[in-house]
Amino acid sequence: MFGFDIVEGKPEHGFVQFDTGGCRLCLHAGGEGDRGTDAPKVVFAVDDVDAVRNYLRDHGVEVGEIRSPASGPRL
């Protein structure tokens, strides 16, 4: 659809990561649950999750706790 190369993921499982040339774009499908809490997600990769979270929080952005799914990256 966008013409980006798929780097990782399986669209049939609701996750795909594209190489856009300037950044990686990860798309996660929403689940079957509540629309307000189980929505599609856009993910940005950073070198230091803690530092970026603190920076955003200190600049008025509402952020949740950092979590790490089993065998996955810190989110």
> Is residue 64 a part of any domain in this protein?
no
> Is residue 74 a part of any domain in this protein?
no
Check residues 11 and 71 and name the one with the higher pLDDT: 11
> Is residue 19 a part of any domain in this protein?
yes
Domain count, the chain: 1
Strand locations in 1-75, DSSP E? 5-10, 15-19, 24-28, 41-43
> Is residue 47 a part of any domain in this protein?
yes
Check residues 64 and 60 and name the one with the higher pLDDT: 60
CA 59 to chain CA mean position, Å? 21
> Is residue 69 a part of any domain in this protein?
no
pLDDT band at residue 59 using 50, 70 and 90 as cut-offs = very high
**pLDDT tens, residue by residue, 16-57:** 888 888 788 887 776 666 666 666 666 677 888 899 889 999
What is the reported pLDDT for 58? Answer: 95
For residue 11, give its domain range. 5-58
> Is residue 27 a part of any domain in this protein?
yes
- Rounded CA-CA distance 37/59 in Å is 24
